[in-house]
Amino acid sequence: MNIGIDFDNTITEHPRLFKDLVSSLSKGNKIYIISSCDKKKAARLPSVCKEKAGKLAKWGISYKELLLAEEPIPKNKAKMCVKYKIDIMIDDDKRNISAIKRLSKGTVCLMFSLPARVPMR
């Protein structure tokens, strides 16, 4: 199974939770980190990738590939789900979830919405 997980405001909100989740899910599955990159950051795409990859490594989160969707982000995230045959996508943005549901009929979307103030133990 191919599993996509959003980076900003999803993994970044609770890296320990996602480290444990990815550790459990990675056995027999492929984990893709599917993030976004706005126009300002697109010019320095390699450094944005390196920065996010560095944080994932620091948190001990392993993955098959880090993918960055450029603007328009919802549509391009959905296209990545189609291209990489993502079976399950975890994201915090309902615009991304809506676009993925529209364009990638085979992808099950899970909305991650947990207040940052909730302590994870």
Domain CATH code at residue 89: 3.40.50.620
- β-strand 88-91 against 30-37: which pairing, if any? unpaired
The predicted pLDDT at position 71 comes to 77
Say if 121 falls within a structural domain: no
Range of the domain at 16: 2-111
Instruction: Give the model's pLDDT for residue 105.
Output: 86
- Report the C-alpha gap between 41 and 85 in whole angstroms: 26
3-state secondary structure of 65: strand
Structural domains in the chain (count): 1
Each of the 121 residues of the chain gets a pLDDT tens digit; together they read: 999 999 999 999 999 999 999 999 999 999 999 988 765 655 556 677 788 899 999 999 999 999 988 777 889 899 999 999 999 999 999 999 999 999 988 899 999 886 655 555 5
**Residue 116, domain member (yes or no):** no
pLDDT at 84: 96
**60 lies in a domain?**
yes
Distances in whole angstroms, Cα of residue 43 to Cα of each of 12, 23, 54, 77: 23, 33, 19, 19
Neighbours of 16 (CB within 10 A): 12
pTM for the structure as a whole:
0.87
Q: Does 120 map to a domain? A: no
Confirm whether 34 is domain-assigned. yes
In angstroms, the CA 61 to CA 96 distance is 22
φ, ψ dihedrals at 44, nearest 5° = -120, 45
Q: What is the pLDDT of residue 94?
A: 92
